[in-house]
Structure 1
């Protein structure tokens, strides 16, 4: 099984696509993860940079703002097709809303499944706050009700929502692990979806919990004989990254943390690499 790491565009939007892709490649990433602009010129610039730097691409959908389900469906479909123009190997989708009914979210899962089957591109629904899979206990039920969907595991959100390290929700976590096809490697805690810096000793328990979940995902894919597992270290900029009051200065370096997480997991899973 190959494990490939993807660099988040989030936090590097100030760089040109060429500069960003060059920096990601130099850091050791195999690809990038990013939303896709609706503007033709920017899509062309993005495509050219991906080709130039020989990077794979995971598309990202997050623009789920409409509270009217029918309008939401229209925008969801539009953005998914827009991402597909750049030939992603996978789409990470922040699907649905926490205030939609289970049936509403089911309709969105079914729309995504139709597009996935049509395009032959896997759409992984992210365990994200404010979205359909915002909490462990809710996700467990939705996964049972929608047996065809697969997920992006970002358990940092569930820690924040539940104010815990999910100690009382092992059953839900185990169900999620079996349905995971992509990982967002961010470490959360009871009061936030992001620790200040995973290298700090004060976050050892949180890092250990997340590593344990990711280990189980890797082992599950080994049992399934999966050819590829993708991981995006996804520590974010402000306001995910705490800042010093009155100055706005971040308390840690987002880029360095994500590279650290990639290298940590590369070393941890090096026996699974095919290169």
Structure 2
């Protein structure tokens, strides 16, 4: 029994060291205040492989984004979301229709803010099915983000959807669950195993028991939270590397006011770009990749 375990361990470690195992990092454009060209230039210079964004609403912005992606050799991942302000049927129609324009760009993936915590199970399942059917038909990966306010706002409810929907693939943003469950989920490792197995993309932001984003991931007081997130992310990536050579991650520390700010001035207490590149570097160090 011990010999067999050692053989499996050695085999596993060998497969992880192969050069074809990759992580593609995407930078969020959340809070972007500069042109698409300047943003993509900085994104490329910082070591990213792509950007993640909502589809631009104007034709001018669409052209500028496409030109910038081509100029700087970057991939794109798009977001699509359920409009919770609309009645269920209308929201589902628009959500489904949005995929047409997203798919035309042949994105690396589509990340969905799916459903609502106020919708029924069957209503949320309709959104998941619509996205998954389109993904299968077009061959573009489609992931459903764990997110407050959505069907996946907590661990127990997400477990129910995973059990009932075999083709449900997650984008795990576990920072949301840290604050929802007011813990770093230290005692939930067993329950996280199915979540880890069904995660195909990560939003890498560090949360804590009282909020979805620490003020500065480099600050020593947050090292425990950072390490907990890194442990979970590394587990997910190494698990996926057993069957897939490429894994995608979006670093997603947000701007003010998601980033804590000083009173009166609303000045962010740390640098969003620096926080995101710091997390990318920590992940690269963990995974021993350049």
Report the TM-score when normalising by structure 2.
Answer: 0.90
Query: Aligned with 1:7: secondary structure?
Result: strand
Residue range with higher mean Cα deviation, 134-143 or 171-180 = 171-180
Aligned partner of 1:78 in structure 2 is 97
1:267 lines up with 2:267 in the alignment: no
Corresponding residue for 2:26? 6
Contact 1:90–1:122 (8 Å) recurs in 2: yes
Matched, 1:254 2:254: no
Residues 62 and 238 of structure 1: is their aligned pair in 2 closer, same or farther, counting only changes over 3 Å?
farther
Q: How does 1:220-231 map to 2 (within 5 A)?
A: 220-224=239-243, 226-231=244-249
Unpaired stretches in structure 2, ≥5 consecutive residues: 1-20
* Equivalent in the alignment of 2:14: none
Per-residue Cα deviation, 1:30-53 (whole angstroms, up to 9, x for no partner): 111111123222212111110111
Cα displacement (A) at 1:67: 4.3
- For residues 116 and 149 of structure 2, the distance between their equivalents in structure 1, rounded to whole angstroms, comes to 6
Contact kept in structure 2, 1:137 and 1:169, CA below 8 Å? no
Contact 1:187/1:194 (CA < 8 Å) preserved in 2? yes
1:245 paired to 2:263: yes
Match of 1:158 among 170, 177, 185: 177
1:120 aligns with 2:139: yes
| TM-score, normalised with respect to structure 1 | 0.94
User: Which residue of structure 2 lines up, in the alignment, with residue 110 of structure 1?
Assistant: 129
Are positions 1:232 and 2:250 aligned together? yes
Structure 1, unaligned runs of 5 or more: none
Q: How many correspondences in the alignment?
A: 270
